[in-house]
Structure 1
Amino acid sequence: MRRCFVLLSTLLCLPLQAAQLTLELGSASRHWQSAELLAHPLAQDIRIDNDVSYKKTMHYRAVPLAVLLEGVGPEDHLQAVADDGFAAEMPAAPLLKDGPARAWLAVEDPARPWPALGAGKHSAGPFYLVWTQPQAGGISPEQWPFQVASIRRLAPVATRFPALLPDAQLASDDPVNLGFALFQKNCLACHRLNGAGDAQFGPDLNLPHNPTEYFQPAFLRSYIRDPQSLRQWPQAKMPGFTSAVLSDPELDALLAYLAHMATRKQP
């Protein structure tokens, strides 16, 4: 037993190892080692106020994400996949802009590791997509994926997953269609619906039951705003979506989409 304790203590004290980020942006993959990115000629030290994951000001060595997205155009669609199965769906256009809201790939230096995200948790590294002036671009918390393992260029969500689509007869400005866009931005990184999606993080939101079927409307709104207000669970991972992230009219539209999809189950 003592030998096991000594071995465990030794392992916990070992320094972080260099990590690898995979970019699949075309016919071939590009692999970046953390040391390469830290030494990138455009890497710089940046300050992030109100960091989404750490809830405080953080400083990072980072590379403008746009310089790594060779061959990607504003019309393209990207997906950032994390080690835990979180899969952030993101249009490429905001990621390619040089401001005012600007995307950066923060790189954890094995010699100077970042703090843990919480008790018993790892840091946000080795790769973390962060933003300067995110409010200027309407960037949501789901567009800050951490522990990123790969970034891929893919077809848009509606093309890849037709089981997510609302009724085609709805008008383009119908709240359900707005809700579908908000679902892609805020929910699809963690959840599937009708079994469709790449996330491996949270439960399916339509099968076997849609939350609009078993939550009273007021409680469902409270749950989305602050999950811990209904179910206090230390291991809970779902963040709350404040009105600054999801306005009341946007929440109405998101709920309209979910209620609509409850009538379009596709096992």
Structure 2
Amino acid sequence: MRLFLGCLLFLAAGVAPAATLVVDTGDGARKLTTEALLARPDVRDIQVRGDVSYHHDAHYRAIPLKALLDGVPADAHLQFVALDGFTAEVPASLVLDGHGAEAWLAIEPEGAPWPALGTGKPSAGPFYLVWLHPDAGHVGPEQWPYQVASIRVLASPAARFPAMQPAASLPANAPARHGFALFQRNCISCHTLNGQGDAKLGPDLNIPHNPTEYLRDAMFRTLVRNPQDLRHWPQAKMPGFDSKVLSDADLDDLVAYLKHMAGRKASH
């Protein structure tokens, strides 16, 4: 009873419990609180130029993400899961050696929340993966997950989801193979394919129908570049991918992958 009353008083005072980040690098899950992370000796004040989520320069208290990944090999794969179920897939090599790009875990202080991401939206906290010099590592906008709840080391999406893979008979330099790599980088956070994947936000891109089966190439490109130019829907969540993120050649290869997979539907 005393504990129960204490919790009621704690909440009535308007003080939220400390946020907790779960990190599992393969040796069991660790739970790291906001307080513990901000007390680390490697915490720094950083300025992020052109923050992807806030669309302006931003300042954070943050720690270098690789400091939480001791023992993780460069060929491993990281999955970031957000509070709303959004998942982001990031190769560990990009964090451990981004060729100049630096991955930082920004930490929202208790009692000093960051600004809301928009009207009626929460902030990017409690934990947010931000980058310094992202262009050096070709870091895409889908690799800035916010509201992060957990970080896990997993096998790559290609290994976890074999039904997404193009045919083994395709040559190594086939456009569809490069398109599959682009799909993993830019699309897998929101979309499943052939019923496989961890995404929960967008529709499956192959069953029952692949978008290349009902959209002309020009219309599909419009959808990718700016979804609102195809269908005006104020509640739409899909971002546009400009040529800095996805070049015209990349978009051609993504189309090649989806067309190839339209002939490789999983049974359902």
Using structure 2 for the length normalisation, give the TM-score: 0.93
Q: Are residues 17 and 264 of structure 1, via their aligned partners in 2, closer, same or farther at CA, if it must alter by over 3 Å?
A: same
Percent of aligned pairs sharing the same letter: 57
Where does residue 118 of structure 2 map in the other structure?
118
Cα offset for 1:98?
7.0
- Unaligned 5+ segments in structure 2 are 1-10
Number of residue-to-residue matches in the alignment: 257
User: Partner of 2:158 in structure 1?
Assistant: 158
Q: Which residue in 1 is equivalent to 2:92?
A: 92
Deviation at 1:16, TM superposition (A): 4.5
Q: Deviations over 1:33-67 (max 9, x none)?
A: 01111111100110011100010111110000000
Alpha carbons 1:105, 1:129 under 8 Å: kept: yes
- What is the Cα deviation at residue 111 of structure 1? 1.7
1:235 matched to 2:258 = no
- Aligned residue for 1:28? 28
Residue of structure 1 equivalent to 2:103: 103
What is aligned with 1:57? 57
SS at match of 2:213: helix
Partner of 1:189: 189
Partner residue in 2 for 1:5 = none
* 2:148 match: 148
Matched residue SS, 1:117: coil
Deviations 1:154-204 (A, max 9, x none): 111111111001011000110000000000000001110001111112111
Q: Supply the distance in 1 between the matched residues of 2:51 and 2:145 (Cα, whole angstroms).
A: 12
Runs of 4 or more consecutive aligned structure 1 residues displaced over 4 Å after TM superposition: none
How much has 1:95 moved relative to structure 2? 0.6
| Structure 1 residue ranges without an equivalent (≥5) | 1-10
SS, match of residue 123 in structure 1: coil
Partners of 1:252 and 1:156 in 2: CA distance: 24
CA distance in 2, matches of 1:92, 1:12: 42
Partners of 1:265 and 1:218 in 2: how far apart? 23
For residue 60 of structure 1, give the secondary structure of its aligned residue in structure 2: strand
| 8 Å CA contact retained: 2:86, 2:201 | yes
CA contact (8 A) 1:84 1:201 kept: no
Give the letter aligned to residue 259 of structure 1: K
Retained in 2: the 8 A contact 1:191–1:203?
yes
**Equivalent AA in structure 2 for residue 128 of structure 1:** Y
Q: For 2:33, give the aligned amino acid.
A: Q
2:6 equivalent in structure 1:
none
- Is 1:18–1:110's contact at 8 Å kept on the other side of the alignment? yes
Following superposition, the deviation at residue 97 of structure 1 comes to: 2.5
Counterpart residue number, 1:264: 264
Provide the secondary structure at the position in 1 that maps to 2:89: strand
Local SS of the residue matching 2:23:
strand
Q: TM-score, normalised by structure 1?
A: 0.93
Name the residue aligned to 1:4.
none
In structure 1, distance between residues paired with 2:35 and 2:53: 23
CA contact (8 A) 2:106 2:130 kept: yes
Map of 1:171 onto structure 2: 171
Match of 1:128 in 2: 128
RMSD of aligned C-alpha atoms?
1.5
